[in-house]
Amino acid sequence: MALITSKFRTSAASGFASTFNTDNIFLVLGRPQPWDNALSTNFSTQASGTVTDSNPPNPIDNYLNEAAFWRDAMAGVKLSASNLRLVTNRNNWQYGTIYDMYRQDISNASPTANSKYTLDDALTIVYVTSTGNVYKCLYNGKNNTVSGVTSTVAPSTVASAAQTTADGYIWKYLYTITSADADFVTANYIPVAATSSVNNVNGIDVAVITSGGSGYSTTPSITIYGDGSGATGTCTLSGTSVSKITMTQVGSGYTWAKIVFNGGGASVTANATAVIAPFGGHGSNNYYETNAHNVMISGTISGYYNQEFPVNQDFRTVGIVKNPDQYVTSQVTSAGTTYTTLTGRILRTLTMSSGATTAPTNDTVLTGSGSGASGLFVFQSSGTIQLQYIQPVAADVPSNISDTSIDTAGTKKLKQFVANETITGTGYSQVVSGNGITAVTPEIQAYSGQLLYLDYRQPVTRSAGQNEKINIVINF
């Protein structure tokens, strides 16, 4: 039997994060029309119940979903390494909670105080909200009779040496979450800093009593054997049994250790287990020690960003695209020149002969008087002559695609608007200018690059005066 280790998952997350330094990664918003729009791909079999705006479908990793994403896409913003962090589960320090201490032997046969079978799931990494400090629980009061005691004193140290609090807990300071990382603090996750706060390399900070023995008339001493050196400790008696070992020197270089009790006149000798630090010591690798195998991407889109993102309009899809191309044609193309600009429009645009005093209602069906082409209105800034639209099709049920929208006698593709024709929709009528179909082309080539992430959401309405902060967590 084999397994994928938690370090593999963290390494994979870190590797993915590094691509933001070398590749062009874009956050793309789309789907302005409702999920149950009759002209669009509806994914009616991909969600329980009836697909509506309040019950979005579930995205599926296939070309149907990917192609629909691009047909409905509006614009994209480039992300950089500053837009992401490796994150770990958020466990706030709270009075009266039993936390899980770090141990090297956690397993199904030897669970934590909270019945967790791996450090990945354990309540070991703790966030103190009042200071922003993050700690690792090295000891929670565990002995031969209890798996842990309640924590009543919050850790406070920012030193590299472990802190013993009045409730008997031992805490290792790892890092502090700064204001620069505030965007990555959510209800469920906290960012992980790459900084090191190691105090010793593979020392023994904790020794746990597994059997207190009996009959001790005087306090015994202990000898610690192992492949490291320098670890020493003293015992505490409770009656005639050993109740605690306090480490006086943690030593260094251990991967195994044996604790031997000496003297004291016991009738039954006590036993204890040394808790061995991970390779490099506690605080030497925050990513691995916090099991940071989640990547959080935080992108912000401000209003009518670079005049690319529609406002007073909804979006329902969020995608992450790696290395899309510069626009060449409205059709699928072979690889071209990678798009690198900060933002990029994907919507199609018609240049009208005059500015509309009143724009069409969102998602109005627009029809060309001469071409017979149709599209869904997305955005037209007040008084401007540029009208943006999409041409969705019901590709999940091809038989539902209206023949009237297809150029059946010519290209066999969707009909396209032409220059100088009148575009009409409910409460709207304007004429396309002479170069209205070529004057403004998209910037990002649809159907290009690699779609890495796709999310279907309930509608989010954008306005000129608001920012959308979009947090995405990818689990490895």
Please count the structural domains in the chain: 3
> Are residues 357 and 427 both part of a single domain?
yes
Q: Which of 31-40, 195-204, 367-376 has the lowest mean pLDDT?
A: 195-204
Integer CA distances (angstroms), 181 to 57, 84, 172, 184, 289, in order: 32, 9, 21, 6, 19
What's the angle, vertex CA 29, arms to CA 28 and CA 34, rounded to 5?
Answer: 150
> Are residues 25 and 79 both part of a single domain?
yes
pTM of the predicted model, to two decimals?
A: 0.88
- What's the CA gap between 127 and 239, in Å, rounded? 37
Q: Is the pLDDT of residue 334 over 90?
A: no
DSSP state letters, 135-169:
EEEEE-S--SS-S---B-S-----SSS-EE-TTS-
184 in Cβ contact with 201 (< 8 Å): no
Average pLDDT over residues 75-100: 97
333 in Cβ contact with 445 (< 8 Å): yes
Summary mean pLDDT of the chain: 94
Integer CA distances (angstroms), 214 to 211, 238, 421, in order: 9, 10, 98
Look at strands 271-275 and 313-322 and give their pairing.
unpaired
> Are residues 433 and 422 both part of a single domain?
yes
> Are residues 370 and 430 both part of a single domain?
yes
> Are residues 447 and 341 both part of a single domain?
yes
> Are residues 67 and 3 both part of a single domain?
yes
What pLDDT is attached to residue 465? 86
Last residue of a domain, one of 220, 249, 274: 274
Instruction: For residue 148, name the pLDDT band (cuts at 50, 70, 90).
Output: very high
Is residue 240 one of the residues assigned to a domain?
Answer: yes
Cα of 42 vs its chain's centroid, Å: 27
What pLDDT is attached to residue 1? 75
Q: Is the pLDDT of residue 108 over 90?
A: yes
Cα of 393 vs its chain's centroid, Å: 32
In what helix (H) or strand (E) does residue 271 lie, and over which residues does it extend?
A: strand 271-275
> Are residues 462 and 333 both part of a single domain?
yes
Is residue 328 one of the residues assigned to a domain?
Answer: yes
> Are residues 297 and 359 both part of a single domain?
no
Is residue 189 one of the residues assigned to a domain?
Answer: no
What pLDDT is attached to residue 193? 95
Instruction: For residue 356, name the pLDDT band (cuts at 50, 70, 90).
Output: low
- What's the CA gap between 388 and 377, in Å, rounded? 6
> Are residues 250 and 363 both part of a single domain?
no
Cα of 105 vs its chain's centroid, Å: 29
Last residue of a domain, one of 230, 249, 274: 274
What pLDDT is attached to residue 32? 97
Is residue 100 one of the residues assigned to a domain?
Answer: no
What pLDDT is attached to residue 210? 95
Q: Show the domain range for 375.
A: 348-441
- For 218-275, what is each residue's pLDDT tens digit? 999 999 999 999 999 999 999 999 999 999 999 999 999 999 999 999 999 999 999 9
Q: Is the pLDDT of residue 424 over 90?
A: yes
Is residue 182 one of the residues assigned to a domain?
Answer: no
- For 291-309, what is each residue's pLDDT tens digit? 999 999 999 998 888 889 9
Instruction: For residue 76, name the pLDDT band (cuts at 50, 70, 90).
Output: very high
Last residue of a domain, one of 221, 243, 274: 274
What pLDDT is attached to residue 411? 92
What pLDDT is attached to residue 366? 96
> Are residues 342 and 226 both part of a single domain?
no
> Are residues 327 and 369 both part of a single domain?
no
Q: Is the pLDDT of residue 2 over 90?
A: no
> Are residues 6 and 77 both part of a single domain?
yes
Say which CATH number the domain at 446 has: 2.60.340.10
H runs (alpha helix) in 38-163: 63-71
